[in-house]
Structures are given as C-alpha cells and as structure tokens.
C-alpha cells in the first residue's frame, strides 16, 4: 500500500451551522423564538437564543488560515472557509484532503445540545428534533456515503432521549453525541438509574454513545492565571475521567452490549490507563466489590470503548497494547488540531515510522469506523473512487491555499487577555465552552 491508496473515514469533525438551518423545521408558534444568526456591527456573526449569545471562536474554524489568526475571538462567516458551513464546499474540501467520509459534531448548541434546554419542554424537544432533522436530511443526505450521521440528545429527559434515538436509528443513524460528565450540567451522573431508558435504546438500536472532550461545557483551567497552553495540552486527556467513570460503573455490567466512543481523546494514554485499571482491580476489588465476571478491566475496555486520534505517533506504535480493533482516526476539520489538507501525509509518515502493515492501516483508517457505526459508504461509492489519491484527483483546481481571512488584526496580548477573561468566568461558573 502507498499513501494515496489509503481510505480515510474520520470519526470526529465539526460543522459550523448555516444560518438557515431552522427554516421550515419548527412549528409556526416557535419560529420567532428560534436561535438565529445575528450579524454585528463589528463584522462578527453570533448565534443568539433568548439571552444567550454564542460567538464562533476562531479556533473552531481555522482551516486554510494562517496561525496568526488562531485565537478565541469571535468572527464572521465571511472570515472562514465556506466548507465550514456549506455542504457543497465541505465535500470539495474533503476531496482535497483525501477524506472519504466524516462524522460531524455540532457547534453552537454545544456537543450535548445543552443550549436547547428551556423551561418549555415542548419547545426544547422541537429544537432538538429540528436540529437532528437538518443534520440527517440536509447535511448528511445531500451526499450519501460521505457522512456518518450523528444526532444530539434530549439531554434533560432519558425517556424522550431514548425515543429520539429510536426515531433516528430507523433512518440509519447509529451515533449519539453526549456529555462526558452529565452531572456537571446539572443532570444525574452516569451511575444514576435515570439514564437506563437511554442505555436500553442505544443497545437496542446498535447506536454508539459518542462522548466528545469538552461536552460537559466547562473549560478545563487548572488555575485562573494558567496560560492557554495548559488548557490546550490537557484537552484530549480530560476524556480519561469519563473513561474511568464508565469503565467502573454499573452501566457496563447492566448493559453489556453498550458501546462508547471517546471522541478527540487521543490514544497514547490508553496502555497505561489499562495497566493501572488492572492493577487497581487486582489490589482493591475485594473491598470495592468490583466484579467483571472473571474478566479484567482492560478486557472490558476493549469490548466497550472506541478510541480515536488526530496525530498520535506513540499511540500508533502501541496500537496492539491498546487494541487494534478499538482505534479509529479523525481529521478534526476545521478545528485548530486538524492537519487538513495534509492529514494523509502526517498519518502515512507515522504508519511508515512504525512499519504498520496494511491490515492494521485499513482497520484504523476506515474498517473500524464502518463496523462500530454501522456505516457502509461503498453502497454509494466505488472503493476505487474512495482512496486518498482518487478523491484528490476529483478536487483538482480547488483552492486549498492558506491565506488571511480576518477583517481585523488582533494582537497576541489581546488574545491572551480574552482567554483569561473566559478562564475567570469559567471558574466562577458563568460560562461554558463547546
């Protein structure tokens, strides 16, 4: 196999929602109260929903932009690549980056849809359903075989959430984005029986619980005066807490067919995590009363958890310590961790560094994703047209140059001050992220 022979299915990318996404999707009585994109005098676009304003952070849409434009400042749609929010341009960007398919997490509603929780249950449910209908019917269905559909949860009601899972599974959706710590959102923890109806629906419909880092909504800041590098470094590793919480919970014992994806969490930490979990079990199970039916925690992890990485050379080298059937790849377009459109080059370099055989490459790059998410793009696209090389040939002439897009130049010191303001607000419990 050569680099251009790879088939890439990314299990974590993001959509910047277009302004017309709710048009025709809400009952008439809710139309005037629906979230709307507002263009401000400073040139930025923000989503406004009642008293909440959600700017589009520059770090969330940096594809094709120079590093000088990275930061937390808000921006307008005309400052970012159209592929962030326009489905036709997204396909062109995917082709140029050699990506066959993506799974796209939400942006302005939050990864767990917390924005849609209101004091009107019917309105909240209508918003969730409208978002999911837009994602499945407009975003994903426009180009069959190019997107793994994923829906947001009815996070405040497990029974309603279970019904929404079943509704969407009936039209081919097998991924539900969810919070990595619902208790932080004021909901019952994973350990509470409150969620049993949801777990049952996920198992029944073969739907994966996709837990993205930052999905509880809090910014991870060890100290108010910590530099942003601390938050950025720790972001992927914050998923470890959710992995441990669920691994040791009664959930996996009561619902042995439940499957969980740890989205954007990397993989290099997994071998030590499994070693530590097995050691904990050996030393403490007698008094903590843990019982996995004769299995070790590491075995349970490999039965239930899917991991993914953007760039993680060490993890690729340790793939068999992790579990070759538990690893997938992600591009993270259009976020700042993404290597688009050169992602295939970096991925191939790591495969070569560790002498990864073709069978392992195929599992990591597309086969595991297809299996876990019940996704088969080849019913729509010929395999020979799905490779990195074939897709890039189809995108010849598409502009992928890096160029400035921001209307104003914001100095690094001002960007740091914006970060500190958000960090102080996060510690005070007054703001959320993602």
Cis amide prior to 258 (ω within 30 degrees) = no
147 belongs to a structural domain: yes
233 belongs to a structural domain: yes
74 belongs to a structural domain: no
- pLDDT one-digit tens code per residue, 251-310: 999 999 999 999 999 999 999 999 999 999 999 999 999 999 999 999 999 999 999 999
Tokens of 318: 């340790």
Q: How many CB atoms lie within 10 A of CB 341?
A: 24
Segments forming the whole domain that contains residue 352? 3-33+100-396
Q: How many domains does the chain have?
A: 1
How far is 406 from 56, CA to CA, in rounded Å? Answer: 13
pLDDT at 434: 43
Sign of CA dihedral 58, 60, 65, 67: positive
364 burial (CB, 10 Å; 0-12 / 13-18 / 19+) is buried
Percent share of the chain, pLDDT over 70: 94
Alpha helices for 114-195 (secondary structure H): 121-133, 158-169
54 belongs to a structural domain: no
426 belongs to a structural domain: no
407 belongs to a structural domain: no
Assess whether pLDDT exceeds 80 at residue 410. no
Q: Is 229 strand, coil or helix? A: helix
> Tell me, what DSSP letter sits at residue 76?
-
In degrees, rounded to 5, the angle at the alpha carbon of residue 374 between the alpha carbons of residues 368 and 379 is 100
- pLDDT one-digit tens code per residue, 314-336: 999 999 999 999 999 999 999 98
432 belongs to a structural domain: no
- pLDDT one-digit tens code per residue, 81-122: 999 999 999 999 999 999 999 999 999 999 999 999 999 999
Q: Looking at mean pLDDT, say which of 64-78, 218-232, 375-389 comes out highest.
A: 375-389
CATH number of the domain bearing residue 16: 3.20.20.140
Question: Given phi > 0 = left and psi -120 to 50 = alpha, else beta, which region is 387?
Answer: beta
69 belongs to a structural domain: no
Q: Taking a C-beta distance cutoff of 8 angstroms, is the pair 109, 432 a contact?
A: no
């Amino acid at each position: 196999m050569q680099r251009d022979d790879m088939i890439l299915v990314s299990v974590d990318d993001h959509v910047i929602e277009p302004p017309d996404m709710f048009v025709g999707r809400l009952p008439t009585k809710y139309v005037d109260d629906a979230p709307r994109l507002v263009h401000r005098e400073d040139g930025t676009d923000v989503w406004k929903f009642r008293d909440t304003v959600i700017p589009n952070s520059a770090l969330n849409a940096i594809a094709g932009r120079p590093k000088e434009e990275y930061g937390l400042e808000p921006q307008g749609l005309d400052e970012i690549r159209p592929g962030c929010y326009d489905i036709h341009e997204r396909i062109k960007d995917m082709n140029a980056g050699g990506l066959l398919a993506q799974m796209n997490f939400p942006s302005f509603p939050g990864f767990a849809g917390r924005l849609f929780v209101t004091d009107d249950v019917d309105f909240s449910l209508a918003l969730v359903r409208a978002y999911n209908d837009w994602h499945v019917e407009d975003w994903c269905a426009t180009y069959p075989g190019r997107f793994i559909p994923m829906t947001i949860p009815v996070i405040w009601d497990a029974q309603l959430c279970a019904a929404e899972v079943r509704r969407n599974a009936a039209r081919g959706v097998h991924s539900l984005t969810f919070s990595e710590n619902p208790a932080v959102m004021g909901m019952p923890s994973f350990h509470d029986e409150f969620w049993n109806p949801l777990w049952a629906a996920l198992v029944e419909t073969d739907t994966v619980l996709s837990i993205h880092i930052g999905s509880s909504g809090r910014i991870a800041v060890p100290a108010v005066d910590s530099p942003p590098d601390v938050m950025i470094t720790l972001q992927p590793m914050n998923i470890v807490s959710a992995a441990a919480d669920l691994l040791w919970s009664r959930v996996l014992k009561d619902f042995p067919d439940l499957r969980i994806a740890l989205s954007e969490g990397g993989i290099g930490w997994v071998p030590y995590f499994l070693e530590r979990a097995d050691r904990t079990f050996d030393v403490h199970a007698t008094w903590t009363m843990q019982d996995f039916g004769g299995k070790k925690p590491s075995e349970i992890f490999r039965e239930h958890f899917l991991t993914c990485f953007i760039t993680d050379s060490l993890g690729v080298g340790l793939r068999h310590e992790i579990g070759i059937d538990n690893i997938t790849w992600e591009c993270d377009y259009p976020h700042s961790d993404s290597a688009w459109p050169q992602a295939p080059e970096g991925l191939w370099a790591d495969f070569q560094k560790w002498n990864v055989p073709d069978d392992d490459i195929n599992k990591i790059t597309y086969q595991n994703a297809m299996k876990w998410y019940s996704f088969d793009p080849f019913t729509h696209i010929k395999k020979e047209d799905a490779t990195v090389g074939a897709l890039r040939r189809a995108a010849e002439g598409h502009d992928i140059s890096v160029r400035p897009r921001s209307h104003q130049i914001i100095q690094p010191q001002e960007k740091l001050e914006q970060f500190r303001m958000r960090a102080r607000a996060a510690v005070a419990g007054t703001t959320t992220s993602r």
